[in-house]
Amino acid sequence: MAILERASDRLALMQRTRSVAIIGMSSKPSRASNFVATYLAGKTDWRVYYVNPHETEALGQPVYPSLADLPEPPDIVNVFRRHEDLPSVVQESVDGGAGAVWFQLGLSHDQAAAKASAAGLDVVQNRCLKIEHARFAGGLHCAGFVTGIIDNRRTVLI
């Protein structure tokens, strides 16, 4: 597929998404993966799966040891792992039949992204899935924070 750099392409990806796997999920509430998972589970109708070989449960749900253990291939693999782990996460995503890989804020890896794209996956780098979803749903300013402004011009796109 493609490396999605345009906002409209990321919106289209989220609109067709039905399931997300969070790789690197943590049961610790202070971790970004937990915060994003809490948001996605509460604000979307997506099936959200948690993956971490060192966890067994988070947010009252099972945590799977790998993508291969999920009950279905996810539409998006949302990645909370170190930079050096991204090539192996991409390979696992390709092998598992995922539709896209989404590298969270601070994560990019051009070689892994190119490999994913060549294998037919959509790729998003250095973006937060929660922030992007909330922004398109009208809940956040484009910079990712609540503005406190309430108006009647916003429409929910997701």
pLDDT in tens, the chain (158 residues): 688 989 999 999 999 999 999 999 999 999 999 999 999 999 999 999 999 999 999 999 999 999 999 999 999 999 999 999 999 999 999 999 999 999 999 999 999 999 999 999 999 999 999 999 998 887 655 445 555 554 545 555 66
Domain count, the chain: 1
14 found inside a domain: yes
Residue 152 belongs to some domain of the structure: no
Full domain range(s) for residue 97: 7-128
Measured CA to CA, the distance from residue 37 to residue 35 in angstroms comes to: 5
Answer whether residue 139 is part of any domain.
Answer: no
pTM of the model: 0.87
Share of the chain above pLDDT 70, in %: 87
45 Cβ neighbours under 8 A, 6+ residues apart: none
CA 146 to the chain's CA centroid: 20
In a domain, 146, yes or no: no
Q: Is residue 151 part of a domain?
A: no
pLDDT of residue 2: 84
Q: Is residue 138 part of a domain?
A: no
* Confidence at residue 154, expressed as pLDDT on a 0 to 100 scale: 52
Q: 117: closest CA among 7, 9, 14, 8? A: 9
Confirm whether 141 is domain-assigned. Answer: no
Closest by CA position to 31, among listed 55, 64, 9, 7 = 55
Average pLDDT, the chain: 90
Pick from 85, 62, 77: nearest CA to 23 = 77
